[in-house]
Chains A and B, each alone.
Chain A
């Protein structure tokens, strides 16, 4: 069975004709062309496919595309505007939080949600770690990712 869904993708209104069995990840990758959405497991274990739905982080591989109807979806593509990296992206670059990079878009989105959620509220490294606990990275050992997020939060406070 197919259904048409309307979503706001990275700020633009879009319509997609989807198989109701398809995940949002599949539609984003195969129809929308937002290839930043990566797949590491397809079953909600790794967070590589993290996108923001109405600004909340979600594993798009276990989120049906039809559920996104009428909602706002953000992917990593939309975070860089007019050739300017977002503060989170910039911090990831500066702190060496990127190695193979396959987990990076998912972490960027999870970290974006974390830094946006309660602006101005200080988060220590442990709280950042808990906030990112749904995302796996096999390369970095996480320290540089935590530092990048810490830096964004500090910058916001300034």
Chain B
């Protein structure tokens, strides 16, 4: 039995010894290095480009400009292909562009024999621009007659709305307590430690092989095919270990370019390895949201209705387009299903870097607004914010307001109770009840979230698993699901061991996905993998087990129904301590017996999951605020999650701590600064964009409320993304509790605190 145990992580030794290979560790003799010439303005048109000096530099192999690339627009989002034309991603990219749309846009590409020459050559490409009006904020891009960032778009990428209940307006009008506010989040960048990198080469005249740091190898294959107008089968994408992605690599960024370059350069290997500075602007960011929210509650503390109006800023290119705003709105619905909700969102272009997927995909922005408003409703009712939430949050048996489907596994109330005890909510609140007036004040905050375990029914959910019995009785498992640090290979091994009935150590998971051989799966995103892969692995393991037992019957004459596989041996169902034969002996006979046997016993399953389990949780935090220094210190913080059954407690805790740490970064420190007038980016490096270091992150507590989700193979639900969602609102609510100052824009930097404290007369 491997599920629920802290088995050794399958890739831990490879990683601590430095032997795990990442994309940059695949060097090829004669490999060329390519790099972009990036625009020095945020919006405009190239009027002249002179590459002669760069091309003349010894060691430069080629320089291509936007005039040399194919003129087929393509979409980059790491979404499954859609058969419905209305649901296709927005195709608004070329490999290079003469119309630059953000500070750092790609106008030319240089290929050189070594990196030093490459950098020198890039600096020698001379570019002149005609500037266009710069629009940094979504509202500016939406204004009547605004300059079109993409011709014909009116700067709009998408729009959606939904409503639950009878009449949100009437409910709000009748509500004795009404809240109306505006919530904003600013630009956050993923900052995975391995920057984007990809390498491509050709072994013959048709096939292009790409090695890439991607979360989505199978999707990348399709998009490269689309971008270059090539049959998808000619593209092969290999994904080795990757050094973090958090959504920025759920997008096709470098792959089409390296593929195009190797074709232009006789199949020679070409690598693009972005610098940190490029990676922070030239890949993806988190969408900044502006949310106008109205909410209503009654005096008994019932949340009656919420009305959200969202502008999601997608920046220079559509990438994931409107999906992020739509998903954030849809996943929020499970949290307070008894309140009526109206959700309207628009996604727009602007002259900032392109926004894409980032951990929890729209939910952090939407739930920040919701949990700030709920806090206000609670306080206006004169209620403990925790008691208010306990009264209103989802409970088992509640139904989704739109689909009418009941929530099957749901432990949010228990999460809140557990967090209450962990942080000592009641005692701490009682201690603070007397009020504070010194320069250092304490406050308590709580916030909840709801999320999902995939993208169904909006997108396809498909997973593949292949399990092969080796000659020695061990198995190899191949999945299309990608390990990106979250531990997916390890839980796949646990699942296979559990269902097959063999020791965990006998399961080898092939970590690398190679689209030529790996089963099809769309990849790591939406916290989907452990959920959707569970059903595929389980079914494959069951099929293989059946074949193994049939082989045992064949060899022994004992009815397979009387046999089971346990601990790596065939045993009697009725008497598991009685061993019939070792799996290794069975496998040898199956492979090599000249007369009999099934050969290589293999199960190969491709499965579509047509369910999507909501997950829940909350953050509790106690802060200390130094008013004169405008600084927030977290004294205590803990996240409590209902993620169904916990497959691996240590790794699950790691997801919670890592995600909550990212949430703390977004709450207190992180913002990519864009000049409001010029669109210039000030801090695209890790010194000036400060994501938390070891000394900035407090000890993060965690706990789980284990439920069993009936729609998943092992009772598990999503966990990878959710921990990032609720810390910011909890911290903001604690700041309010401590100081009486409520701030509706993230991040809560000293700069922002200073302005608000000043206005409130605190300093």
Contact = CB atoms under 8 A, between A and B. Distances in A.
Nearest to A34: B18
Nearest to A106: B193
Contact of A137 (B193, B241, B695, B700): B193
Contacts of A126: 695
Contacts of B686: 40-41, 45-46, 136
A40 B241 CA distance: 15
B173 interface: no
A35 B18 contact: yes
Given A40-B194, A102-B244, A141-B700, A130 B16 contact: no
Interface stretch (A64-72, A88-96, A115-123): A88-96
Contacts of A3: none
Given A85-B16, A129-B694, A139-B244, A96 B685 contact: no
A60 interface: no
Nearest to A132: B694
Contacts of A146: 694
A143 B673 CA distance: 29
B246 interface: yes
For B22, B244, B275, which residue has the most chain A Cβ atoms within 10 angstroms?
B244
B9 A96 contact: yes
Contacts of A42: 275-276
Contacts of A37: 18
The residue in B485, B650, B659, B662 that gathers the most chain A C-beta atoms within 10 A of its C-beta is: B485
Nearest to B25: A35
Q: Interface of chain A, helix or strand or loop or mixed?
A: loop
Contacts of A93: 8-9, 12-13, 16
B282 interface: no
Contacts of B485: 99-101, 139
Interface residues of B, number: 56
Chain B interface, DSSP helix/strand/loop, else mixed? loop
B439 to A, nearest CB: 24
A52 interface: no
B10 to A, nearest CB: 11
Contact of A138 (B16, B21, B22, B691): B691
A21 B119 CA distance: 13
A128 to B, nearest CB: 8
Interface in A113-158: 125-126, 128-130, 132-133, 135-146
Given A135-B694, A143-B700, A100 B194 contact: yes
A75 B657 contact: no
A32 interface: no
A136 to B, nearest CB: 6
B622 to A, nearest CB: 18
Contacts of B657: 140-144
A118 to B, nearest CB: 19
A101 B241 contact: yes
A7 interface: no
B653 A75 contact: no
A89 B654 contact: no
A6 B582 CA distance: 55
Given A132-B694, A133-B693, A133-B694, A138 B244 contact: yes
A124 B24 CA distance: 36
Given A45-B276, A99-B487, A92 B16 contact: yes
B658 A108 contact: no
A42 B686 CA distance: 11
B403 interface: no
A140 B694 CA distance: 10
B15 A104 contact: yes
B491 to A, nearest CB: 13
B697 interface: yes
A57 interface: no
A58 interface: no
A73 interface: no
Nearest to B20: A101
B166 interface: no
Nearest to B663: A141
Interface string B668-702: 00000000000000000111000101110101100
Contact of A40 (B116, B195, B662): B195
Contacts of A108: 16, 18
A103 interface: yes
Nearest to A134: B693
B61 interface: no
Interface string B274-293: 01100000000000000000
B691 A139 contact: no
A101 to B, nearest CB: 3
Given A43-B276, A45-B685, A77-B17, A140 B244 contact: no
B42 interface: no
Contacts of B242: 100, 102
A30 B273 CA distance: 15
Given A38-B22, A143-B657, A143-B699, A98 B685 contact: no
23 contacts: A21-B116, A36-B18, A37-B18, A40-B243, A42-B275, A46-B193, A76-B16, A76-B18, A80-B17, A93-B13, A99-B487, A100-B192, A100-B193, A100-B242, A100-B484, A101-B15, A108-B18, A138-B190, A141-B658, A141-B700, A142-B657, A143-B700, A144-B657
Interface of B: 6, 8-9, 11-22, 24-25, 27, 116, 190-195, 241-244, 246, 275-276, 484-487, 650-651, 653-654, 657-662, 685-687, 691, 693-695, 697, 699-700
Top 9 A-B pairs, shortest CB-CB distance: A36-B18, A102-B243, A100-B485, A141-B661, A101-B15, A76-B18, A141-B657, A45-B686, A99-B485
Given A40-B276, A101-B20, 13 more contacts: A21-B116, A30-B27, A36-B17, A40-B195, A41-B685, A77-B17, A89-B16, A96-B651, A99-B485, A101-B241, A108-B18, A138-B193, A141-B657
